[in-house]
Amino acid sequence: MKKKRGTGMGCTKISCTYAVLGGKQMDEKYMEELDPVEQIPDLADQEPENAMETEEQIRERVRAELSQEYERYIDQRISQAQKKWESKKARETAESLDRVNKLRAIESQKRQKELELKEHEIAIKELRLDIVDMVALEGLATGFRQFIPYEDLLAIPDPAERYRELKKRIINLKVEFYKLVDQEVKKQTSSLQVQKRGMA
């Protein structure tokens, strides 16, 4: 405890208490309990704590501040790098999914075309077999099959309707054929009759 320098700024407990009580007479017992030597510290005599930092303290403080700043910088860089990596990964994943979807679409189109081609070939074979059966059923020679158009019938989706249309064409062809035969027979008969008359 520092001794009072006599500046008048400090005071003893007795004097301060006396001043606080407005100069009134204090209890003697209370007065005896007070230590007349003990003083209330003079604020002017006190040096504030850490008023003067040593060089080592300054170094420690600066080192701590720089360390915190560096940690914040590192955390920021790590966060930026992580966000960049996540963005790149998400973009690569999206591009990969896009490529997979495109390949699936191409593969699906390819399978669809192959299926349509197979269905087309099966439909042609069925029509040809139907032509063979119908020509035979109508009593026509097998050579008539090549005169019956059927490719356009593939546009008819219903097989039963396609069969009916094919049968109609074969019957019409048969009718037209017999008409031509009748005309040719009549023509040749007429020619023979003319020849007979000329010979007579």
Tens-binned pLDDT, residue by residue, of the chain (200 aa): 444 444 444 444 444 444 444 444 444 444 454 444 444 444 444 444 555 778 889 989 898 999 999 999 999 999 999 999 999 999 888 888 888 999 999 999 999 999 999 988 988 898 899 999 988 888 888 888 888 888 888 888 888 898 899 989 999 988 988 888 888 888 888 877 777 776 76
Q: Residue 148 in contact with residue 169, Cβ under 8 Å?
A: yes
Angle at 168 between CA 163 and CA 173, to 5 degrees: 125
Tokens of 161: 């309707």
Q: Note the pTM of the prediction, 2 decimals.
A: 0.44
CA distance 2 to 19: 22
CB within 8 A of 35, min separation 6: which ones?
13
- Best CA proximity match to 151, nearest among 132, 134, 165, 171: 165
CA distance 66 to 176: 108
| pLDDT digits 0-9 by tens, 21-40 | 444 444 444 445 444 444 44
